[in-house]
A and B are shown apart, each in its own frame.
Chain A
Amino acid sequence: MSARTLAVFIAVLAVIGLLGYGLLKKSSDSLAIGDPIPDATTSLPRLDGGGTGSVADYRGRWVLVNVWASWCVPCRSESPTLERFYAAHRGPDFTVLGIDSNDLSTDALDFAHRYRLTYPQLRDGDGNFAQHELGTTGVPESFLVDPQGKLVVHSLGPVTDRYLSSNVVPYLSGRASG
């Protein structure tokens, strides 16, 4: 192989490599129903500053993962709904898990305090976990994850009491299966 061929080969390989990296980095396809939550063990800081946590910490329980931000207007109406739902259904088999994304921690804490949110909260300040692992395109988005860590329900936009009753409760009560 001549030096020129080698140089061309390396240049082509470099271009393909860069294109591939770009595609992989941008590939934030939304999760499909039945998919396991990718990198569920990713450790995120808890919003209250008390250590770290991950979606995988709740393996064995139904988890309603809610991605939100304090600057998100629809999240203001959704959060009290989620808090009510958490209060009504929390237990060894279910929890709501908030993931504060692309947000300032002080704003997020103020928000959680204002809406008296008591369910666990993780902080995804740079939004990497939400965007690249969960494939979110905005906030709020919610994901019901089954005890095996697979996605069973995905909601774009704010959830309502009615939505939760018809789409989440059947799984928790055993009337629907993942």
Chain B
Amino acid sequence: MRRALLAAPPLLVAVVLLLAAPVAASSGTMANPASPKTTLPDVEDDVMCPVCGTALNLSSSPQADRERAFIRREIVAGKTKDQIKSELVAQYGTAVLAEPPKSGFDLTAWLVPGAAILLAAIAIAIGLWRWRRAGRSGGPPTAGGPPLEPTDSERLDADLARYDL
């Protein structure tokens, strides 16, 4: 009986450990952070430090440090890059995005440069077309200015001959 009692505690411990193992494993799973879906540099590339007015990856201000800490927390929570950007917009407004949104007035930031390039291309094309048409209708190109006096012409020939190597 006494031996049975002495043997009981290790047996009891083993049973308890066996029972507790799945619980510990499951709680361990819960405590583990979600698998990251993005990285800090990946998000940093796409967002600004609103106070500094520079890209976040170029800023070392206290505000930028807090923004990075926020991004790290969101990454640990398993958020995607787009989700993190949305959270940042909710905190700081759209000014936090490195690229302006493609909606509302901010759409002009995308449209105006494209339209300007298109207009410039059209203007250059029209200019070239007119230049070529003028060239064709005007015959072979001639040197501008009035014809030279015979004395000037002789002098020019003499000068050119002097430099003729």
Q: Point out residues on A near B: beta carbons under 8 Å.
A: 11, 18, 69-73, 102-107, 125-128
Interface of B is mostly: helix
Query: Looking across the interface, which residue of chain B has its beta carbon closest to that of A105?
Result: B91
Contact yes or no, A127 B91, CB < 8 A: no
Contact yes or no, B62 A125, CB < 8 A: no
Task: State A26–B99 Cα separation when bound (angstroms).
Answer: 19
Task: State A36–B61 Cα separation when bound (angstroms).
Answer: 33
Which listed residue, B62, B92, B112, touches A71 by the CB 8 Å rule? Answer: B62
Contact yes or no, B93 A125, CB < 8 A: yes
Residues on B with beta carbons closer than 8 Å to the beta carbon of A102: 50-51, 63, 92
Contact yes or no, A104 B66, CB < 8 A: yes
B129 interfacial contact with A, CB 8 Å: no
- The interface size of chain B toward A, counting residues with CB under 8 Å, comes to 18
Query: Looking across the interface, which residue of chain A has its beta carbon closest to that of B105?
Result: A21
Contact yes or no, A126 B62, CB < 8 A: no
Which listed residue, A18, A73, A104, touches B70 by the CB 8 Å rule? Answer: A104
Q: Point out residues on B near A: beta carbons under 8 Å.
A: 50-51, 61-63, 65-67, 70, 90-96, 112, 119
Question: What are 24 residue pairs bridging A and B, where the CB atoms are less than 8 Å apart in the complex?
Answer: A18-B112, A69-B63, A70-B66, A71-B62, A71-B63, A71-B66, A102-B50, A102-B51, A102-B63, A102-B92, A103-B63, A103-B91, A104-B70, A107-B66, A125-B90, A125-B91, A125-B92, A125-B93, A126-B50, A126-B93, A126-B95, A127-B92, A127-B93, A128-B93
Task: State A73–B62 Cα separation when bound (angstroms).
Answer: 9
Residues on A with beta carbons closer than 8 Å to the beta carbon of B61: 71
Most buried by B among A71, A107, A128: A71
Task: State A65–B50 Cα separation when bound (angstroms).
Answer: 22
Smallest Cβ distance from A133 to chain B, in angstroms? 14
Residues on B with beta carbons closer than 8 Å to the beta carbon of A104: 66-67, 70, 91
Smallest Cβ distance from B119 to chain A, in angstroms? 8
